[in-house]
Amino acid sequence: FQSYAIFPHLNVFENIAYGLRIQKIGGAELRKQVSNALELTELSGLENRQPNQLSGGQQQR
Q: What predicted TM-score, i.e. pTM, was given to this entire model?
A: 0.85
Cα–Cα distance between 12 and 43 in angstroms, integer? 9
Average pLDDT, the chain: 92
Locate the domains of the chain by residue range. Answer: 12-60
Residue 27 CA: distances (Å) to CA of 9, 17, 18, 49: 22, 11, 13, 21
Write out pLDDT tens, residues 2-39.
667 889 999 999 999 999 999 999 999 999 999 999 99
Cβ–Cβ under 8 Å, residues 61 and 27? no
pLDDT at 1 over 80: no
Cα–Cα distance between 59 and 22 in angstroms, integer? 21
What torsion, rounded to 10 degrees, do the Cα atoms 47, 50, 55, 58 define?
A: 40
